[in-house]
Every structure is written in C-alpha cells, then in structure tokens.
Amino acid sequence: MSIRIGIFGYGNLGRGVEAAIRQNRDMELCAVFTRRDPSSLKLKTAGVPVVSAKEVSAWADRLDVMILCGGSATDLPEQTPALAKYFNVIDSFDTHAKIPEHFENVDRAAVDAGKVAIISVGWDPGMFSLNRLYASALLPDGKDYTFWGKGVSQGHSDAIRRVEGVLDARQYTIPVESALQAVRSGENPELTTRDKHLRECFVVAEEGADKARIEKEIKEMPNYFADYDTTVHFISAEELQRDHSGIPHGGFVIRSGCTGFEGEHKHIIEYSLKLDSNPEFTSSVLVAYARAAFRMAKEGQRGCKTVFDVPPALLSANDPAALRKQML
Amino acid sequence: MSIRIGIFGYGNLGRGVEAAIRQNRDMELCAVFTRRDPSSLKLKTAGVPVVSAKEVSAWADRLDVMILCGGSATDLPEQTPALAKYFNVIDSFDTHAKIPEHFENVDRAAVDAGKVAIISVGWDPGMFSLNRLYASALLPDGKDYTFWGKGVSQGHSDAIRRVEGVLDARQYTIPVESALQAVRSGENPELTTRDKHLRECFVVAEEGADKARIEKEIKEMPNYFADYDTTVHFISAEELQRDHSGIPHGGFVIRSGCTGFEGEHKHIIEYSLKLDSNPEFTSSVLVAYARAAFRMAKEGQRGCKTVFDVPPALLSANDPAALRKQML
C-alpha cells in the first residue's frame, strides 16, 4: 500500500513535490489541487487528476497526506489550518517570526480533527533549524552562526524589480568567506550583518534609464540592501536569461563550542547545503516529512508538530532494523 | 528537580561526562561507579560518592539515568543489558557490525525492566549516523560518503605498539583532500580505501631498534595499514609527549544526490566535526541523550532505542515553545 499524497498548489514547489514523489517508491501522487482553472494545468505525471481547490473536502478519505505548496505570506496562514480539518498536512511556512502563531492555529485545527500537521518543513526553517538544535544541545557552551548562500533571494530580486526603470533582476546572497573562516577557526567572532553576507545584483534596465540612480536606489534601500556591501551589475535581458535563470541556494550552520573542566577543548560542528534548485530540495524535504506524518498519524498522534518533534527514523523508507544495520 | 545521573566507569569518557554535566544545569552527578577500589579514584566534583560496581543495584531508585563509559569490546556487551535491569541507560557501543545483536540483548533487558536504553550514542555511531539517515531520506537518489579525521585512531596506535621494538606510537587518520573535493563537486566518484584516507604514524622506537624493519612491518600490516598510503615518522618520547598527547578527531559525512524529473539538479549535503577532544565530545553527546532517555522514560516508553528513534527536541534543555520561537 503506497502512501497517498495530494499536492495543494502547483508552482515551483508543487512541481518539485511531484518530481520528488517519483523518487520514493512507497508514495503515490493521487491528486493536485489548484485555485486556478484545473483544465489550465498540465501535470508531468500521467493519470493524476487536477482538482479545483473548492472540491478539496471531498477528498478527505482518499489521501493520507496533503502537501501544501503555497506561499507563507498569505496562503499558508489560512490554508494549513483549513486543510488540517480534513487531512494530515505538511507545509513549508517560513516566516520565522510568525511560527509560534501559525503553530497555535494549526495545532487547534489538527487536534480537533484528529490529524497530524507538520509545519515549517524545508531547509531554513527545517534542516538548518534541526542542526542548530542538535549542535546547541551537544555543546551548551558555544555560539551559533547561520550563513546563507550563495543563492538567489526571491524577496530581494522582487525588491529590485520595484525600482523605477528596472525591467528584471536577480539578487544573490553570498556569505563572506573571511567571516566563515573566522567562525570555523573557533574564534567566536561578533559579526554584524555587513560582516556576514554580500549582496550581488544583476539588473536589466529600461533603455535610456538612469543607471546611476537605479544603482543608488538599490544600494540605499532600507532592510534589503542598506546594511550590506552591495554590488550592482547591469546586464541584458538575454544575459539574465542565459546566466541567471537557475534558483540555486544553500548555506552553513556552524556551532563553535567548548568542553572540559576549564572549557579547554574547542569543537566545531558544521552543516552545509549546496543546492542547484532551492524549491526542489525544499520539496524533497516536504516529501520525507510527509512519510513521517503518515506514520505518526497511524500511531494515533495528533496536533501540530515541527521537525523538532519527528524521530529521524520516521523519515526513511527503510525499516528500523535495516537502518540500524546499514546506517548506524 | 535535576536529572540524577550516574557514571559507570571512570576513564577518559567518564571524566568527559563528569565535565559535561557541569555544562547542563538541569543535571546532577549523583555517583560514579567503578570496578577498581573506590578509594583509588579522585573525582573533580566535590561531594560525589565513588561506589563499587558490585553495589550498583542498591542505587536503582536513586538515579534517573546511568551513563555507561566502558569499552565496546568486552565491557558494554555485558554491562548495558545488566544495568538496564535497574536503570535507564545510555552507552556509546561502537562496534558497527555487532549493533543489531547488542540492540536485541539490551532491548530484551530494558523491556522486561520497564526501562529506556539508548545505545551507540556518540558521533560515529551517533551524529554521523543521524546525518547519513537524514540525508538519504531527503535525497533518495544519491550516494553517501563518510570520511574520518584528521584524528587519532586508538586502535591503530595500539596496533603499532605491538610491533617489536616500538615503545610508543600515535596514529592519525587523515582524509584525502582531493577525494573530499571530488565528492563535494558532485562527481559521485567510486573511491577505494586507499583513495579516501591516509595514515600517518609517529613512532618511538627502542634504542638500537631496526627502524627499517619496524616501518616495513607497520606499512604491511593487514587490515590496519596495508590498504592505505602510510607514512611513518620516528620521533623521541619527548616529542610524542609534547606534540601528540591530544586526542583530536572529526570527519565528514557527505551526500551527493539529484532531484528533478530528469535528475537534472544536483545537491550536496555535508556535515562535519572538528573535535579537539574525541572522548569529551562523545561524552557531551551521551549527556544530551541522557536527558532524552529521562524524558522518554517519563512518557512511559521502554526498550532499546538509538539516535534514530529520539525526537530532537528531547535533547534540549529548552522547552518546545522556546525552541520553536528561537531556533526554528
């Protein structure tokens, strides 16, 4: 019996989940739900129905887990609690500051309905959070550092596109190599925002636009760029398409701590990701946690969980004895 | 109420646990058990009794978790099942091939006694195993690599000491940098034993010993050295003491995998440790899992567990809501 999966929302993330399900033989994609006209969607998987979001409740008994692939700004705060009434659900809610509120809302709905919900699944929040937790539990006397990149920040790219005279843009977040090295050396440096990351922008300007003004506006933009060393390159639309159409990302979680009666021994724990496709990797994490949600629901658990609550063995398609024999 | 911890065995690991408990305010060291004459042991922590191993059962109700600090060859296979009759127990059993058998023996004892036992806790097995599991669950189409070092291998150092004419020795296991780079690049190379690690030996020879013969015997030693590129340096006892008395270790777990409908996107997940003190870091992991064992026992769980079965949140002294707010 395969685990029956539904996808709610069919953008980059939804397509990534569709691809990831094919890599997991114990899972089956049963339906994709959309708020658009279902006939406008063309899936890559033959024989899977595209269903209007309005009809989702009719599928309550036909799916084991629904994977939500909407955005954190407006979609998930509404959709995750609403869908937890009918399904075990997984989302990738990534507005860090609002996680406690989202957790409460989803927990209420999932407990009432007797479902399992796992929120904020992905790599940050997600695998990076897990590594912060493990490392801080192992080395209580220590300091955590998270670096992001090199990778595309969608939010920063969008911010540049809102500047007058900009046709298109792509922004890369880049960790500062010397800061990384200082952290790895165990120096426990105090790092400002500017010390940790660079921002590199590739901008397609309108013909005749004032590039100096655009560059200045970008570099002085509060929150997004003002606190960083920012580089702006003007390129053609063709160059943007040719050289910058991927969505790579990644980063580093490093904890530097000490042990011993006098704190005399230093230790560095480092976790890093280098991802060709940010949405596809996030999708792969969602799918592994869908397996865990299915198993936790079967065990009779209910309510909202995060990656912190999930025993690692539940993520694997292999059984516990095989895991102990092969991976421990 | 502190978590009441006992230490069984007071070598490098036991002393490391004693030091680690001081870094965890929710824990208290209540007793150290030894097979030696208790009066021969001098603890670093004032007021903690040293108790003969023969009297351990009298402590059944006075400890929440017993941390076993014996060796995997002969101590733990006997001690862990025996002590699981009286205590929740944690060990660092690290003979990979015998883990399934050890698990069964400990599970039987712990289930019968209604106790929780967590075995094979440390960094390999332990944190490295966890990272192999997480990474393979996230990237099912991929390949795992584990590199060890740079660090001291006690087993290999001991093997050198058994060579005629050797007074003392220290052996470092060193990952081959070019192999690491090939793995990180996503090439998924096939690597032989020789491709992955170098072995560097520092040897103190008896006066007048035949160094050429010693070097040859080391380099040709089956299992330990014959399959590796091995370097032998002869040094004085003073130099060994001065430059090689530490017990550093570490290593890398890397998974390289792909996603997408055509496997067109590559991803690299890397976890690494750089440890000044191998036993003290292992001790720190043991202590964090002691907290988890205490909590799992309180929840009414019983039987043998491994790091694969422990929800990460149980390792942290912080409560779940704080973890979600600060670390997720």
The single-letter DSSP state of residue B10 is -
Ordered alpha helix ranges (H), chain B: 12-21, 75-83, 99-113, 127-138, 154-161, 177-184, 193-196, 211-219, 237-243, 278-298, 320-326
What is the rounded distance in angstroms from the CA atom of residue B281 to the CA atom of residue A236?
53
**Torsion, Cα of A282, A284, A287, A292 (10° steps):** -90
| pLDDT, tens digit, 9 for 90 and up, residues A59-106 | 999 999 999 999 999 999 999 999 999 999 999 999 999 999 999 999
Closest-CA distance of chain A to residue B86, Å? 25
**Torsion, Cα of B15, B18, B19, B22 (10° steps):** 180
Residue B159, CA distances (Å) to B14, B39, B73, B156, B204 in order: 24, 33, 15, 5, 13
What is the rounded distance in angstroms from the CA atom of residue B306 to the CA atom of residue A172?
40
Starting at the edge strand that comes first in sequence, how are the strands of the sheet with B88-90 ordered?
B50-52, B27-34, B3-8, B65-68, B88-90, B116-118, B303-305
Q: Do A267 and B261 touch (CB under 8 A)?
A: no
Cβ partners under 8 Å of residue A77, min gap 6: A93, A98, A102, A105
What is the rounded distance in angstroms from the CA atom of residue B76 to the CA atom of residue B69?
8
**pLDDT tens by residue, chain A, 328 residues:** 899 999 999 999 999 999 999 999 999 999 999 999 999 999 999 999 999 999 999 999 999 999 999 999 999 999 999 999 999 999 999 999 999 999 999 999 999 999 999 999 999 999 999 999 999 999 999 999 999 999 999 899 999 999 999 999 999 999 999 999 999 999 899 999 999 999 999 999 999 999 999 999 999 999 999 999 999 999 999 999 999 999 999 999 999 999 999 999 999 999 999 999 999 999 999 999 999 999 999 999 999 999 999 999 999 999 999 999 999 9
Say what the pLDDT of residue A1 is.
80
Is-contact B98 B105, C-beta < 8 A?
no
Q: Do A100 and B324 touch (CB under 8 A)?
A: yes
- Nearest Cα neighbor of A125 from A311, A292, A307, A316 is A307
Question: Tokens at residue A240, please?
Answer: 């943007």
| pLDDT, tens digit, 9 for 90 and up, residues B159-212 | 999 999 999 999 999 999 999 999 999 989 999 999 999 999 999 999 999 999
* Distance, first Cα to last Cα, chain A: 27
Q: What percent of chain B has pLDDT over 70?
A: 100
What residue in B sits closest to A103 (Cα-Cα)?
Answer: B324
A259 CB neighbours in chain B (<8 A) are: 16, 19-20, 23, 277, 280-281, 283-284
B274 CB neighbours in chain A (<8 A) are: 184, 267-268, 270
Is-contact B266 B186, C-beta < 8 A?
yes
Q: Do B324 and A308 touch (CB under 8 A)?
A: yes
* Distance, first Cα to last Cα, chain B: 27
Is-contact B259 B267, C-beta < 8 A?
yes
ipTM, 2 dp: 0.96
Residue B1 has pLDDT above 90, yes or no: no
Nearest Cβ partner for B323 among A96, A308, A316: A308
What is the rounded distance in angstroms from the CA atom of residue B129 to the CA atom of residue B133?
6
Nearest Cβ partner for A315 among B20, B137, B316: B137
Three-class SS state of B189:
coil
Residue B100 has pLDDT above 90, yes or no: yes
| pLDDT, tens digit, 9 for 90 and up, residues B221-257 | 999 999 999 999 999 999 999 999 999 999 999 999 9
Is-contact B89 B60, C-beta < 8 A?
no
B266 CB neighbours in chain A (<8 A) are: 276
B272 CB neighbours in chain A (<8 A) are: 268-271
3-state secondary structure labels for all residues of chain A = CCEEEEEECCCHHHHHHHHHHCCCCCEEEEEEEECCCHHHCCCCCCCCCEEEHHHHHHHCCCCCEEEECCCCCCHHHHHHHHHCCCCEEECCCCCHHHHHHHHHHHHHHHHHHCCEEECCCCECCEHHHHHHHHHHHHCCCEEEEEEECCEECHHHHHHHHCCCCEEEEEEEEEECHHHHHHHHCCCCCCCCHHHHEEEEEEEEECCCCCHHHHHHHHHCCCCCCCCCEEEEEECCHHHHHHHCCCECEEEEEEEEEEECCCCCEEEEEEEEEEECEHHHHHHHHHHHHHHHHHHHHHCCCCEEECHHHCCHHHHCCCCHHHHHHHCC
What is the rounded distance in angstroms from the CA atom of residue B213 to the CA atom of residue B163?
10
Q: Do B313 and A184 touch (CB under 8 A)?
A: no
Q: Give chain B's mean pLDDT.
A: 97
Question: String of b and e for B315-324 (b: at least 16 CB within 10 Å)?
Answer: bbebebeebb
Nearest Cβ partner for B281 among A267, A317, A328: A267
Cβ partners under 8 Å of residue B174, min gap 6: B149, B150, B197, B198, B199, B200
| pLDDT, tens digit, 9 for 90 and up, residues A250-267 | 999 999 999 999 999 999
The owner of tokens 């099912």 is: B140
Nearest Cβ partner for A288 among B127, B137, B323: B137
Say what the pLDDT of residue B5 is.
98
Residue B91 has pLDDT above 90, yes or no: yes
Residue B142 neighbours by CB distance under 10 Å: 22
Which of B12, B44, B265, B286 to mutate against chain A (most A CBs within 10 Å)? B265
Is-contact A327 B133, C-beta < 8 A?
yes
Closest-CA distance of chain B to residue A212, Å? 37
A261 CB neighbours in chain B (<8 A) are: 19, 22, 44
